[in-house]
Structure 1
Amino acid sequence: MTSTAINFNQVAYLLITGASRGIGQRMAIETSRKFKPGSIVVLLARSASGLESTRAEILECNPHINVVTSSVDLSNASKQLLEDIIDKSLSKTPVGSFELAAIIHNVGTIGNVERKAVDMSDRQEWEEYFATNLFTVGVLNSCFLQKFRECAKKLVVNVTSKACLVPFKSMGFYCAGKAAREMYFKVLADEENDLVVLNYSPGPVDTDMTVDIQGRSNAEEIRNYFKGLRETTTILTTHQTTEKFISILEAGRFSSGDHVDYYD
């Protein structure tokens, strides 16, 4: 059985989505800090300026690696585009030169939190939500694993949420998307014994997304929940959740495909 412990102090290839801000940005910076020279880090998000900010921070703490950015809308990215991004990032570097190939699926949107489940009748809204949060995630994951099939150690991370296990009022799109996405990665882990798959639930983190939920949710109890976390300063920082994330992977005390929460 493949060990789930990950050594980041290697020549690595890392691709991370939603890398322009928040949790994705912090995960990209802190994992890259540990990589050996010759490593390649690929940052995907819509915001070109946000990606450049992440890239600059990575190179400040580890100037010996190559950081590639690609401003892309993952709601409508084709398989061909995603394959081209990976191929161009590699340039002429052979896949076999990497000791670790890792992908972090951090991209995620909250969806329309002003609707109750009974009012989620717009088919286009459903399709657009799942296109970003599930369909492209699955396609990108397949493109990545097919490219790095021969790499000795492969890590797949799905940034998930407690919302895939527990219903939250006003968050029908988010809960449904997270549940479907996590089950896909559980099936992947069950089928591919040579992969390390982690479904990481980062806990309630102070990000633009939780600010958005607090401001727009149609459920008063949800708005008050995030308001209370901020007022009591018990909401987590991106640094806190990323530190825990890295320690979980380095310790490897989980089975591939497990859902591991910040508070576990």
Structure 2
Amino acid sequence: MKTCLITGASRGIGRAIAIELSYKRGEISKFILVARDIMELENTKRLMSLSPNIETFVMDQADLKQVEEQLGIILENNTIDILINCAGFVEPSSLLETTVENWESTFTVNVGSVFLITREIVKKMKSYGGKIINISSTAGLGARPGWSAYSASKAAIINFSLTLSEELKEYGIKVYCISPGRCATDLRKKLAPDEDPASIMQPEEIAYVVNNLISKSGNSLDGQNIVVRQQINEKII
């Protein structure tokens, strides 16, 4: 039986993944859900299957000291077989309006905390193998005027994932990167506040892809940036 840790599990794609896997992946006997909002984490838990054991941890990924402390508690009592890095942060602004604080906060949550969480878990995972799935974005694949900090951070996650896939092969660890296009999340509302959420991809569609990657059929897809998006009007994602 396996243990799965999901960051950003309080809403959006992270929540959808937690729900999907709890019903579809019977081999996962325990879920560890991580996010800043304990109330929303508990709401996610209520929507999941009752079969697996589910634990929730409050973790602000903008605070790397807190991340390290909470990870110490989690890893003291758990062996993580599947890691899904889904938490994200965005405060979109143009180059001339982006503050150093904004840039640093974006990279701390979207890149720094992913590095730290992954490194600490791999210290144990390397002895038994596992799977790591990082959620990036198509914003990391091309120019996004007004989103420079966010786009650059997501480009970093794509390269980080590709590099880890090669680096961790010797330990039997498979690493995947998923880059969703326009998806109806709270983060997307910040990027495109006037967009109709019902007209774009839903978080459940990303969760379906994650479920497939965790299955044996996903074993041949590691080391790739997997783009998941609608084909209509993708120039404006």
- Percent identical: 24
**2:143 paired residue number:** 167
**TM-score, normalised to structure 2's length?**
0.86
CA distance in 2, matches of 1:80, 1:214: 33
Within the candidate set 51, 73, 77, 1:85 is matched to: 73
Q: Distance in 1 between matches of 2:207 and 2:187?
A: 17
1:212 aligns with: 190
CA distance in 1, matches of 2:148, 2:121: 29
The residue type paired with residue 20 of structure 2 is E
Aligned length: 226
Q: 1:210 to 1:13 in 2, by over 3 A?
A: same
Amino acid at match of 2:127: E
Distance in 2 between the 1:136 and 1:241 partners? 22
Structure 2: gaps spanning 5 or more residues: 231-237
Question: In the alignment, which residue of structure 2 is the partner of 1:125?
Answer: 102
Preserved CA contact (<8 Å) 2:16 2:204: yes
How far residue 200 of structure 1 moved from its aligned partner, in angstroms, is 0.7
Q: CA deviation at 1:203?
A: 2.3
Q: CA deviation at 1:256?
A: 2.0
Cα separation, partners in 2 of 1:208 and 1:84, compared to 1, 3 Å: same
Give the aligned partner of residue 234 of structure 2. none
The question of 1:236 aligning with 2:201 is answered yes
Which residue pairs with 2:233 in the alignment? none
The answer to whether the 8 A contact 1:108-1:132 is kept is yes
Cα drift, residue 149 of structure 1: 2.4
Deviation at 1:249, TM superposition (A): 4.4
CA gap of 1:235–1:119, structure 2 versus 1, over 3 A, is same
Distance 2:71 2:59 in 1: 13
- The equivalent residue for 1:245 is 210
Match of 1:16 among 6, 11, 33: 6
Instruction: Give the aligned CA root-mean-square deviation in angstroms.
Output: 2.2
**What are the superposed Cα offsets for residues 229-248 of structure 1, whole Å, 9 maximum, x if unpaired?**
x28x4301122232233235
Q: Does 1:34 align with 2:10?
A: no
Which of the residues 105, 122, 127 maps onto 2:85?
105
Deviations 1:22-44 (A, max 9, x none): 11001011112234477221000
- Unaligned 5+ segments in structure 1 are 1-10, 216-222
1:68-109 per-residue CA deviation (whole Å, 9 max, x = no partner) reads 10011111132641432323552xxxx4xxxx8100000001
Equivalent of residue 72 in structure 1, options 40, 43, 59: 59
Q: CA separation in 2, counterparts of 1:181 and 1:23? A: 17
Q: Distance in 1 between matches of 2:209 and 2:199?
A: 16
Distance in structure 2 (CA, Å) of the matches to 1:31 and 1:171 = 31
Larger Rg: 1
Letter paired with 2:12 = G
State the SS of the aligned residue for 1:39: strand
Q: Which AA in structure 2 matches 1:167? A: A
How has the CA–CA distance of structure 1 residues 169 and 80 changed in structure 2, closer, same or farther, with 3 Å as cutoff? closer
Q: Distance in 1 between matches of 2:133 and 2:220?
A: 13
Q: Write the distance in 2 (CA, Å) between the matches of 1:242 and 1:144.
A: 22
